[in-house]
Amino acid sequence: MIRVKEAIVVEGRYDKAKLAGLVDGLIVETGGFGIFRDREKLRYLRELAKTRGLIVLTDSDGAGFLIRHKLASSIPPEQLKHAYIPDVPGKERRKAAPSKEGKLGVEGMDLATLRKALEGAGATLEDGSAPQRSGASLTKGDLMELGLAGGPDSARRRRELQKALGLPERLSANELLRAVGTLVTREQFLEALHNMEKERP
């Protein structure tokens, strides 16, 4: 178990139950898309963000990113940390069929993957420390220089690279910058890009 200072926001009760096996701390569920109309819950999350900080940990599918974007547009960025889970094909045991996109959500991830996501996002642990991210971070300028932002083919190249790295396919350029250090190191990122370029005809 790890003790986390920030409140962690997940989509639903099964995600919360899974995370409770790893985290000793406050875990709040959005009720899925309920966050779009629940002003009281949003006000509560804003207050938590102000007093202790929030970590957003949603599924890597379209619904998860819509909820993530809603929170990111409602809460100051300095009060918000983003934890990402990888795209993993499959279905949760309790479900009869896989989700629409066929990916495991937070509840389907193993605890080691969830811990890595939280640590990579910079969760503040009980002793007041935040894990150091490995390697120097990337900038938007780096992405532009590498042809992964601002160019006519950059979105496709980004998706290719994200797939090679096992990152969620729905990451924007800015989200990709946040994910480097959460799910992969800068070194892994650059190595995968180099390999991708080598394989081009």
SS (H, E, C) the chain: CEEECCEEEECCHHHHHHHHCCEECCEEECCHHHHHCCHHHHHHHHHHHHHCCEEEECCCCHHHHHHHHHHHHHCCHHHEEEECCCCCECCCCCCCCCCCCCECCHHHCCHHHHHHHHHHHCCCECCCCCCCCCCCCCCHHHHHHCCCCCCCCHHHHHHHHHHHHCCCCCCCHHHHHHHECCCECHHHHHHHHHHHHHCCC
pLDDT grade for 80, boundaries at 50, 70 and 90: very high
Distance between CA 76 and CA 173 in Å, rounded? 19
Per-residue model confidence as pLDDT tens digits over 99-140: 788 889 999 999 999 998 998 888 998 765 655 554 457 788
Per-residue model confidence as pLDDT tens digits over 11-59: 999 999 999 999 999 999 999 999 999 999 999 999 999 999 999 999 9
DSSP β-ladder status, 7-10 and 54-57: parallel
User: What pTM, to 2 d.p., does this model score?
Assistant: 0.78
